Structure 1
Amino acid sequence: MMIHHSGKDGEESITALAGERSAPAPFFASPSIDRKGEIALYYGFTPIKAPHIEREDISRARALQSAGERLAGAEERRCSIPLALEEKVALIRLAAEIRGGNLQQPLMFYFERSALLPRSARSRRGHECSVSLEIIGTGKSIAEALIIKAAYEILQASGHKNVSVEINSIGDRDSVARFSHDLLSYYRKNISLLHAPCRQNLKRDVFDLFACENEKCRIMREDAPKALSYLSEDGRRHFTEVLEYLEALALPYTINNFLVGDRAITTHTVFEMRVEGAAMPLCFGTRYNALPKRLGVKRDLPSIGATLVFEPQGKRADETKRVRVREPKLYFIQLGFEAKLQSLKIIELLRHAKIPVMQSLSRDQLTVQLAAAEKFKIPYTIIVGQKEAMEKSAIVRNMRTRSQDTVRLTELPEYLRRIM
């Protein structure tokens, strides 16, 4: 899905194509979006209206919370960004309805809504709205890279500087169970050292103790078990790949062992984004791979989402300017992990050059990606394999004539403007 800037008298236009045209029309938002939506489009997210939360979604969310795995409220966690479990339930329901959950391509959604915050949190933080990025249907590490990079660029474009990422992984449900068991045993053995409120929290959710800023609790958590020690081999490999993406993108990050999310929803990766020195984060994200099956979805539907919050401090003109939706003429194809590492940097290069591009970074096979380009009648493809990734170049292929050229990445934007 991608974007194109053009037009007369300063009018901007966007090229966008949702990864699967077979997705039903009601999922698509107005053909004009703002700056935040424009950035999301470049990274493959389809703007939609915020999902309607039905009464059944609320009931199912409450049932999950009462099944021994309580979802903590926003005010009980340092992040102060609610996970809105009922919204995740609604998203899973919608995804499962599309082709019976048999997704050939992951669903990637972007939407805005008034922040789902308690009244006291609204008055304390002054939040006006939230922006959500969701990827449903892939467990690959590229999904984390896409969602973190898109969120980072949206925050940067919104005027936030010195944004950094705090990240952790708690692994799959087996890893979470073993970690939770040992963490609970650790705190029970040292319960006399906890201050009174945390002794009560221990009965509800041991993860809450990591959020406590009491001096006694802060000292205790330093020696507490760490989730990373409980990851399976697949979990360690997945998290290592996520960190490699962040390093390839030169995104500043630190591993926060005390960032664990909520057991009602979180699996594997959990992250926050903060401005240096700020007490509260601007973004919270987590994988929720296990949630679909707990809601009765028969097929695996691994998912990840992030919520960004914005304060009502006046919007700049470039943030509110609306842009129109049109289609791209370029499809980006990558082959191999080294090429994937370079892919988001190439997309960012094209975004700054205002050149539209469509991609499906979750796919690996050349034939599948070429077939997608042909299906959508995209006239040009950019192909990056391991050789091109090492040489910092790309192959540009004319899909009609099958002719192709190898172009250095530094020269790629100018070359594409010339042929398109």
Structure 2
Amino acid sequence: MNMKAPRGTVDLLPTNTKKWQYVENHIKGVCERFRYDEVRTPLFEHTEVFQRSVGDSTDIVQKEMYTFEDRGGRSLTLRPEGTASVVRAFVENKLFGNPSQPVKLYYFAQMFRYERPQKGRMRQLNQFGVEVLGSANPAIDAEVIDLAMTCYKELGLRSLKLVINSLGDQESRENHRKALVEHFSPHKDELCSDCQTRLTQNPLRILDCKKDRDHPSMKTAPSILDYLNNESKKYFEQVKEYLDLMKIPYEVDKNLVRGLDYYNHTAFEIMSEAEGFGAITTLAGGGRYNGLVEELGGPDIPGIGFGMGLERLIMALEAEKKEIEIDDELDCYFVAVGDEAEKQAVRLVHELREGGVQVDRDYLDRKMKAQFKAADRLKARFVIVLGEDELTKEIVNVKDMTTGEQLEIPITQLINKMNEKLQGGK
């Protein structure tokens, strides 16, 4: 019997989840400033959603998806990436009919990919993503990149590199595809088995191969930038101009193709250059996907988005030695001594919480000294003591654990007085 977490998954314990919550809340704040709204989609979808959108020739569909058949004989797949699910929800719920366009969405979601687990790349991974649907304006491409860079920079990351490329429109991609087939065909037998298949299915994916990246033919492969038509060139130039206006530095990488079939025009990745971060430097990646909405049964509506790995974000913060300040102090710890005080503690703790006060208490029947030690471990700002004498006087003793000051407070005034003390009053 194996009672351990499955390979490629980890438990996030309370110390770590507080860091994650801090990061997630920060990102949500950025999204609010950019006026993006949260969307939540199912953990699994009908398999064809990913087959049609991500592409049959991709590694995700061919090798990495967790697919199963339910009792009704339907093929379902645990979500391997976020864009297809969001676009499916956009189409199914007819968000293209909203009067406010474009529709700007973000999500936090768990993804599932059957990969070889390694640092920063798990089989169950957590991702933040953004999707904008309804605009073909290059300014929105620049805004999406700006949002991603803002999330990183405001969390304190400095060792960042933004890499961009254009995959062009359908005409440009088709001309580039023909050139790639002609270029790689003489070397077919020297390429890995995956790339031999890609040569006929999707030759652009050869440029993204990890096994053959050092093959001599890679260095001389035709660049998509040489096959962009005038419209695609103009679009790419506008994206770069907007990034320049926002003073967001970038590098153009002609070999950046991204791993999914639905991308066209703008493609980008954000990488960490922090010392000791590791061999896999990509933090986030995304791009434009103008035909995807139509592919999933909707109207011809353009889109752009990105996915950001949260595990890798936490790793980058650690590599740059950025401390996440977690407020783990406790407002009040309630110490009860005696049977009657124990009963009253149940009521008073409940009322304090109802009144907006953060409070904890002992549930192990410990002595008073041990309860004070527990208050210290929990970094309590105040300790409220209720014993037989206090019950007789209908008061509680409150000790300020920072100054050592003690005062008596009538039980009937406890909630108001504690709120005053916690807000800096006397």
Which residue is 2:407 aligned to?
none
Q: 1:89 aligns with which of 80, 84, 87?
A: 84
Which residue is 2:146 aligned to?
149
Whether contact under 8 Å (1:134, 1:305) holds in the other structure is yes
Whether contact under 8 Å (1:134, 1:304) holds in the other structure is yes
Which residue is 1:110 aligned to?
106
2:294 is matched by which residue type in structure 1? K
User: Aligned with 1:189: secondary structure?
Assistant: helix
Task: Give, in angstroms, the shift of residue 251 of structure 1.
Answer: 1.6
Which residue is 2:292 aligned to?
291
Q: 1:52 aligns with which of 36, 42, 45?
A: 42
User: Aligned with 1:252: secondary structure?
Assistant: coil
Which residue is 2:398 aligned to?
none
Task: Give, in angstroms, the shift of residue 289 of structure 1.
Answer: 0.7
> What TM-score do the two structures reach when normalised by structure 2?
0.57
Change in 2 beyond 3 A, CA 1:194/1:115:
closer
* Match runs of 1:139-218 below 5 Å: 139-191=136-188, 194=191, 198-213=195-210, 217-218=214-215
Task: Give, in angstroms, the shift of residue 40 of structure 1.
Answer: 1.6
Q: 2:30 aligns with which of 28, 32, 39?
A: 39
Change in 2 beyond 3 A, CA 1:100/1:64:
closer
Change in 2 beyond 3 A, CA 1:54/1:101:
farther
Which stretch of the first structure deviates more once superposed, 92-101 or 260-269?
A: 92-101
Q: 2:252 aligns with which of 228, 242, 255?
A: 255
Task: Give, in angstroms, the shift of residue 271 of structure 1.
Answer: 0.6
User: Aligned with 1:224: secondary structure?
Assistant: coil
* Match runs of 1:338-417 below 5 Å: none
Change in 2 beyond 3 A, CA 1:41/1:222:
same
Q: Is residue 323 of structure 2 the alignment partner of residue 307 of structure 1?
A: no
Inter-partner Cα distance in structure 2 for 1:95 and 1:153: 26
> What TM-score do the two structures reach when normalised by structure 1?
0.58
Whether contact under 8 Å (1:167, 1:253) holds in the other structure is yes
Inter-partner Cα distance in structure 1 for 2:211 and 2:292: 32
Task: Give, in angstroms, the shift of residue 206 of structure 1.
Answer: 1.9
Whether contact under 8 Å (2:161, 2:270) holds in the other structure is yes
Whether contact under 8 Å (1:194, 1:216) holds in the other structure is no
Q: 1:70 aligns with which of 57, 75, 78?
A: 57
Inter-partner Cα distance in structure 2 for 1:41 and 1:320: 23
2:270 is matched by which residue type in structure 1? M
Which stretch of the first structure deviates more once superposed, 90-99 or 245-254?
A: 90-99
The answer to which structure, 1 or 2, has the higher relative contact order (CA under 8 A, 6+ apart) is: 1
Paired residues in the alignment total 278
Q: 1:274 aligns with which of 258, 271, 276?
A: 271
Whether contact under 8 Å (1:36, 1:319) holds in the other structure is no
Q: Is residue 211 of structure 2 the alignment partner of residue 221 of structure 1?
A: no
Whether contact under 8 Å (1:35, 1:318) holds in the other structure is no
1:255 is matched by which residue type in structure 2? V
Whether contact under 8 Å (2:54, 2:84) holds in the other structure is no
2:144 is matched by which residue type in structure 1? I
Whether contact under 8 Å (2:82, 2:129) holds in the other structure is no
Whether contact under 8 Å (1:110, 1:132) holds in the other structure is yes
Q: Which runs of 5+ in 1 are unaligned?
A: 1-32, 78-83, 322-420
Inter-partner Cα distance in structure 1 for 2:265 and 2:102: 18
Whether contact under 8 Å (1:267, 1:288) holds in the other structure is yes
1:151 is matched by which residue type in structure 2? A
RMSD: 3.3
User: Aligned with 1:274: secondary structure?
Assistant: strand
User: Aligned with 1:156: secondary structure?
Assistant: helix
Whether contact under 8 Å (1:135, 1:304) holds in the other structure is yes
Inter-partner Cα distance in structure 2 for 1:162 and 1:121: 25
Inter-partner Cα distance in structure 1 for 2:63 and 2:185: 21
Change in 2 beyond 3 A, CA 1:101/1:169:
same
Task: Give, in angstroms, the shift of residue 226 of structure 1.
Answer: 0.9
List per-residue Cα deviations over 1:372-420 (Å, max 9, x = no partner).
xxxxxxxxxxxxxxxxxxxxxxxxxxxxxxxxxxxxxxxxxxxxxxxxx
2:103 is matched by which residue type in structure 1? L
Inter-partner Cα distance in structure 2 for 1:61 and 1:174: 24
Which residue is 2:116 aligned to?
120
User: Aligned with 2:136: secondary structure?
Assistant: coil
Task: Give, in angstroms, the shift of residue 142 of structure 1.
Answer: 1.2
Whether contact under 8 Å (2:132, 2:303) holds in the other structure is yes
Whether contact under 8 Å (2:164, 2:251) holds in the other structure is yes
